[in-house]
Structures are given as C-alpha cells and as structure tokens.
Amino acid sequence: MEKEGLPALGWAARDTSGHLSPYSFSRRVQEDDDVTIKVLFCGICHTDLHIAKNDWGNTLYPVVPGHEITTKRLVGVVTDIGRGVDGFKIGETVGVGYFVGSCRTRISCSKGYENYCAKLEITSNGVGRDGENTRGGFSDVLVVNQDYVLRVPDTLPMDGAAPLLCAGVTMYTPMMRHGLNAPGKHLGVVGLGGLGHLAIKFGKAFGMTVTVISSSPAKRQEALDRLGADAFLLSSDPEEMKAAAGTMDGIIDTVSAGHPIVPLLDVLSPMGQIVLVGGPSEPLELPAYAIVPGGKGIVGNLVGSIRDCQAMLDFAGKHGITADVEVVKMDYVNTAVQRLQRNDVRYRFVIDVAGSQPPRRLSRV
C-alpha cells in the first residue's frame, strides 16, 4: 500500500489579492534522510509579501509562505526521524531557512554555495523533490531533508532567532565574503528595517564602525541611541553625504524601493563595494565614472549557504544577536502583512504558529 503524507494545517494565499486564509494539505512522505518538524515560530519576510501577491510573476497558487522557521521538537510520522538521519536528535532547537534542497552536483553546490544553485528548492513557492509545490512555515508541520536543517543555539530565544534564518544570514554572509567583519573597518548600512537593524548588530559584534544611511530623519535617534550605530547620514542631505565622501570600506544596501546609487558610491573609499540585498524593481542608473576611477564595485547577495547560515547562527549565539520582533498569532497575519507594507513594525513580525492552533496528534492522512 502506498504511503500517504502527513496532514498539515496552514494559511495560504489563493490569488493576487495576497489575502491569507486557512488551508489544509498534505506534506510529502518522510523519507529515510528526512526530519519532520513541528513549526513553532515563523518570521514574516518582505519576500513572503511579494510571493503572496505574485509581484514577481512566478507564484504557484495556492501558496503557503514562510521561510524563517524555528522549533524545539522534531516529530516523526512513524519514527521520530528518518532511519538515515544521524545529525539530529529529539529535543534540539532547529531551524529551516530560505531553501530546503539543491542539486548538489553543479559548480555552485560543489563549492558550498548551494544558495545559488540553478535548481534551488526554495522552502515556499518552489517545486519539491516529490514534484509538488513547496509550502512554507505558515503551517504547523514541515518535512525537510536533514542536510537543510540548522541547529539554533539554545542561548537564543526561538521567536527572536526565527528571522535570522533569512534576514540574519543575508547580513552576515556578505560581511564575511567581502571582508566587512574586522575591527577598524567602516560599514555603511542603507535602510533601517528588518535587514538593516540586524546589519548594525552584526557589524558592532565584529567590532566595526557602523554608519546608518537613511532618507528618514526620524530614524536618527533610533539608530544611534537604541541600536548603537556610530553615526547617521541623512541621504537626502547633500552636505552630510559630501562630508562622508570616501570614508566607508563597504556598504550593505537593504532598501527595496528605487533610490539613487551614485551618492552611495561617493561615500565609499577606493576599492570599496556596495552589496545589494534589497530588490528594487527599477533599473539602477550607473554611470561608469561612478565606479571606474575608484575601482569601486556593486555586487549582489542572496541569503547564504547552509554552511554560512550555521556559522551565522553560531556567531549570533555567541554574541546574543537576535532580531527585534513583534510576535503575533496566525489570525493576525493579514493585518501584519498590511503593517509590514507600511513599515509599521520594529523590526520583524514573527508568527507564533504553534500557539495559534489547537494541539493535535500528528499522524498519517
């Protein structure tokens, strides 16, 4: 008799309105190298908003968002974990991030950069190993190959750690890859939101000088007094920007709305780089004179590899880095999405998934 998957309860968007409502479906059958995870907390990322509304034209409806997942229990369908799983045990605090599979054979995977795999199996709105659409952490249970499950240090609270699985590794990885992780280096952070506030925390933990660059003067005090940035630049003030010319070793640009890039290149020191982690829909205006004379560059970054993500979590655990979160129940998710679109959160929403649903026995369909 063919095995049937585990019943799951989630919230899904069914059309471009992006409105989320209860949705019942089945997870794939747990295989020998899988763990089945009871979702406790899941962050809400701007990517979830774009997917729910089909902003990128690739949404597979009905779509269950969510890729910043933490839990403290591994729960099996028949056994607690697959027979081939040797890296995890019951009761560990674990997490799942942006992707749950890759080809493992092409150049990016063989070099440890599976986040750039051409066949990346993303946690939500992708195609899974069973050929079915992947459905994310806005649900009560998840089946994941053991190689894509991460250990979350017990020193970190699960709600504050959840956004680290995407926002955290998105900040940590380019800092490590581009040498922005050493005392004495000067880091610029464009935008003070879910990504930017974590960039400050990681930058200060590395011992760097951190300057926030923002178009909002109201964020000056927040950046300096509450988050501990060393300086604040108002990007709309030409005099402030001119005074900072050539002072920064690198900049992480977290802003997803369209904005001019040349003024940011001006504050870079020679050979400095801007790392784009936001996704403006408008094309960049980049004259050659802005990068050629100073040997400056612009690069992109998409989250990080499993190796990067585990290193980030270990570093965060050592330094007590978590996201600043507002925890909500699942029935508040549509309001949370609307508020996130208005940037009305400090700084990330996290859904208490397990606390939003009545307890139930996990069993076969």
Rounded mean pLDDT, 113-134: 94
Residue 79 pLDDT more than 60?
no
What integer pLDDT is reported at residue 275 of this predicted model?
A: 97
Its CATH class, for the domain covering 7-166+304-310+322-356, is alpha beta
Residue 85 pLDDT more than 90?
no
* CATH number given to 167-300: 3.40.50.720
What integer pLDDT is reported at residue 76 of this predicted model?
A: 38
Which residue ranges does the chain devote to CATH 3.40.50.720?
167-300
* C-alpha distance from residue 209 to each of 63, 223, 231, 319 (Å): 41, 13, 8, 17
What integer pLDDT is reported at residue 361 of this predicted model?
A: 46
What integer pLDDT is reported at residue 130 of this predicted model?
A: 85
Which residue ranges does the chain devote to CATH 3.90.180.10?
7-166+304-310+322-356
Rounded mean pLDDT, 206-218: 97
Rounded mean pLDDT, 184-204: 97
The secondary structure element, H or E, covering residue 3 is: none
Contacts of 43 (CB under 8 A, 6+ apart): 66, 68, 162, 163, 165, 166, 167, 323, 325, 348, 349, 350, 351
Contact assessment for residue 233 and residue 204, using Cβ atoms and an 8 Å cutoff: no
What integer pLDDT is reported at residue 1 of this predicted model?
A: 40
Rounded mean pLDDT, 89-114: 91
Highest mean pLDDT among 68-77, 149-158, 204-213: 204-213
| Confidence at 81, pLDDT banded by 50, 70, 90 | low
Q: 3-state DSSP: the chain helix, strand, coil percent, rounded to 5?
A: 25, 25, 50
Rounded mean pLDDT, 261-287: 93
Residue 286 pLDDT more than 90?
yes
